[in-house]
Amino acid sequence: MVDEELVAEIRRKAHAYDSHSGCSQAVLLALQEGLGIGDAESFRSATVLSGGVARRGETCGALLGSLMALGLMAGREQMEDRPSYVRATGIADEICDGFQEKLREEFGFEEPLASTLCSEIQEKIYGRSFNLREKKDYEAFLEAGGHSDEGCYKVCGIAAGVAAARLLELRGERG
């Protein structure tokens, strides 16, 4: 049984932490604190993943923070451990699918996202994507609500909540 209160607290923290910028770190830190995993080095390693990897609009940084937490809990410790690799990537796929579906539900998209790209998520939420490396586009992103409760903060909360629920299930499976 998943502790829904803990999932809600992790989600709330990720949502709040993104106000400092850095969606991947916001999500990872909330999961680290809530699940007692990782350390300062793992947190630091997520620094450049926000905005779709160095603000390039690629894979959603919030989702990457979630997947890093999965790696901390279920990642392989040796390259030769192929079974652990296969198991972890299967769980990662579940988290990605859950993230896409939860975004659809909570933002009211008619169809699920075709990918987990930050630029596609921006397009769905704001009606367009932004080049976050360009000052004018970044300012337009902020004006559109990019750093607001109904923008990327919410995306961070969703990513953290989906991952927290699955990671708590994983912890329960281990006994």
User: What pLDDT shows up at residue 173?
Assistant: 77
Q: Using alpha carbons only, how large is the chain's radius of gyration in Å?
A: 15
Whether the CB-CB separation of 167 and 160 falls below 8 Å is answered with no
> Which of these ranges, 4-13, 28-37, 166-175, has the smallest mean pLDDT?
166-175
User: What pLDDT shows up at residue 175?
Assistant: 58
Q: What mean pLDDT, rounded, does the chain reach?
A: 96
Q: Which residue in the block uniquely carries the two structure tokens 């961070």?
A: 156
User: What pLDDT shows up at residue 63?
Assistant: 98
Residues in the chain: 175
β-strand partners of 59: 117
Q: Domain boundaries in the chain?
A: 4-174
Provide mean pLDDT across the span 8-18.
Answer: 97
Tokens at residue 69, please? 């937490």
Is 125's pLDDT higher than 90? yes
Is 43's pLDDT higher than 80? yes
User: What pLDDT shows up at residue 112?
Assistant: 82
Whether the CB-CB separation of 26 and 18 falls below 8 Å is answered with yes
> Which of these ranges, 11-15, 111-115, 123-127, 145-149, has the smallest mean pLDDT?
111-115
Tokens at residue 39, please? 């350390």
Please tell me the distance from the alpha carbon of residue 66 to that of residue 174, in angstroms, as a whole number: 19
CB atoms within 10 A of CB 26: 30
